[in-house]
């Protein structure tokens, strides 16, 4: 008779319950043809722990129990019953108190993952026959892990798919909210609108996203973030169109012109007035610039993580566009290196329609000398064009 049948009822005053009998029936079910790796079962059970109603501390105790099982696979033999003392089990559970151990062992039994095989006196031990071979063991039976291995694996796969879907929903909500926040920041610096209400709505969503949320709630938050972003785009659209109109006309002029418009060097007084403005970052976030002008990234093997990286890449790219060193130097002096880099990235993105990039840049530099130029409308126009293509 196999040792797993030696005890069917719990020791002491613990009653027999329907759940206990159901678990024992599962334990007596036929074993799968292929013995599963015990640590793979534990790994899957970690992913599916919510489905089985157990905690990470319960799993720590189960891992300690599995460490007393010899071998790597859960073979259908007498070795599935382990009988460590409380002291040994506590030691392998990183010093967990015995009262805490008992609580987590009871949780594993209730979940139908292990069985108690109690001795007549409730102690855990093994006996041997006259030849010295092990013939009986009293302790914890791991056979439910063997018979339920396929169920555990399937639950783990479903849990991992659900977690991946939840993570993607969260990423989508975060990206939508980030775009809304940064566009609000840029719009606030460009013209007056009801930015405070939109900003407050973003703050509330950011607070909500700090919590661990289920897929349904994340889907709801993503919808709210998308709605805020659309409202921001609606506010920005007429203003950016108005601001970019003159730039478009200037661009068309340079597509048909054969003569670059050379502007004089700015006087020292104007340069001094402009120096503080040049030192600052452009009013539009770097992330939006790169989203609008992805072609510039082709010339940055290590990526563009900062304004300094963008400036360095622009310094490398300008000769390829036929922009002379003199035109590029003048643009950097008048606009500032960062704004000039943003402008060049926009020109590169539309290189297929701007026939004379050098002349176009000189014209924009002339506008910047009179404080009549910002690269923001160019960036927003590219973003709108990208959105139309995506739609």
Let me know how many helices (H) and strands (E) the chain has, helices first. Answer: 17, 4
Burial class of 83 by CB neighbour count within 10 A (0 to 12, 13 to 18, 19+): middle
Find how far residue 201's CA is from the centre of its chain: 22
- CA count, 13 A, side-chain hemisphere, 252: 5
Closest by CA to 52, choosing from 108, 106, 100, is: 108
Closest by CA to 324, choosing from 350, 362, 367, is: 362
39-90: pLDDT as tens digits: 999 999 999 999 999 999 999 999 999 999 998 999 988 788 888 888 899 9
pLDDT recorded at residue 279: 53
pLDDT recorded at residue 126: 65
pLDDT recorded at residue 258: 41
Question: Is residue 37 within 8 Å of 152, Cβ to Cβ?
Answer: no
Q: Which residues pair with 127 in a beta bridge?
A: 136
pLDDT recorded at residue 269: 46
104-152: pLDDT as tens digits: 998 998 898 998 886 655 576 666 666 666 667 778 889 899 999 999 9
pLDDT recorded at residue 313: 93
pLDDT recorded at residue 120: 57
Question: In the CATH hierarchy, which top-level class contains the domain 3-147?
Answer: mainly alpha
Give, for 113, the enclosing helix (H) or strand (E).
Answer: none
For the chain, domain boundaries? 3-147, 163-244, 257-391
Q: Report d(CA 9, CA 235) in Å as an integer.
A: 72
pLDDT recorded at residue 298: 85
382 φ/ψ angles, rounded to the nearest 5 degrees: -65, -40
Give me the residues of the chain with pLDDT under 70, please: 1-27, 118-122, 124-135, 239-281, 372, 387-391
């Amino acid at each position: 008779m196999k040792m797993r049948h030696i005890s069917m009822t719990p020791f002491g005053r613990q009653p027999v319950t329907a759940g206990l009998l159901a678990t024992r029936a599962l334990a007596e079910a036929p074993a799968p043809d292929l013995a599963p790796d015990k640590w793979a079962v534990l790994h899957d059970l970690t992913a599916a722990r919510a489905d089985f109603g157990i905690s990470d501390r319960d799993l720590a105790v189960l891992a300690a129990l599995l460490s007393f099982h010899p071998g790597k696979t859960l073979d259908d033999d007498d070795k599935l019953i382990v009988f460590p003392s409380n002291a040994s089990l506590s030691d392998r559970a990183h010093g967990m108190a015995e009262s805490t151990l008992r609580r987590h062992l009871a949780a594993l039994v209730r979940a139908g993952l292990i069985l108690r095989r109690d001795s007549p006196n409730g102690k855990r031990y093994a006996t041997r026959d006259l030849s010295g071979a092990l013939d009986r063991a009293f302790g914890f039976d791991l056979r439910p892990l063997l018979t339920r291995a396929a169920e555990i694996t399937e639950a783990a796969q479903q849990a991992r798919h659900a977690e991946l879907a939840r993570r993607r929903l969260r990423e989508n909500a975060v990206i939508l909210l980030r775009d809304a926040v940064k566009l609000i920041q840029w719009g606030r610096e460009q013209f007056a609108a009801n930015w405070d209400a939109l900003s407050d709505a973003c703050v509330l969503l950011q607070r909500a996203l700090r919590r661990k949320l289920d897929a349904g709630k994340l889907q709801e938050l993503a919808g709210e973030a998308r709605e805020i972003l659309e409202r921001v785009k609606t506010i920005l659209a007429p203003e950016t169109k108005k601001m970019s109109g003159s730039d478009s006309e200037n661009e068309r002029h340079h597509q048909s012109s054969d003569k670059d418009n050379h502007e004089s060097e700015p006087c020292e007084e104007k340069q001094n007035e402009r120096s503080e403005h040049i030192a600052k970052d452009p009013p539009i976030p770097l992330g939006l610039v790169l989203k609008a002008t992805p072609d510039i990234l082709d010339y940055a093997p290590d990526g563009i993580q900062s304004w300094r990286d963008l400036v360095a890449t622009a310094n490398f790219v300008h000769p390829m566009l036929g922009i002379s060193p003199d035109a590029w130097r003048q643009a950097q002096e008048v606009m500032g290196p960062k704004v000039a880099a943003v402008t060049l990235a926009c020109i590169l993105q539309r290189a297929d329609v701007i026939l004379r990039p050098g002349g176009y840049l000189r014209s924009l530099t002339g506008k910047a000398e009179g404080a009549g130029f910002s690269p923001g409308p160019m960036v927003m126009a590219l973003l709108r064009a990208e959105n139309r293509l995506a739609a």
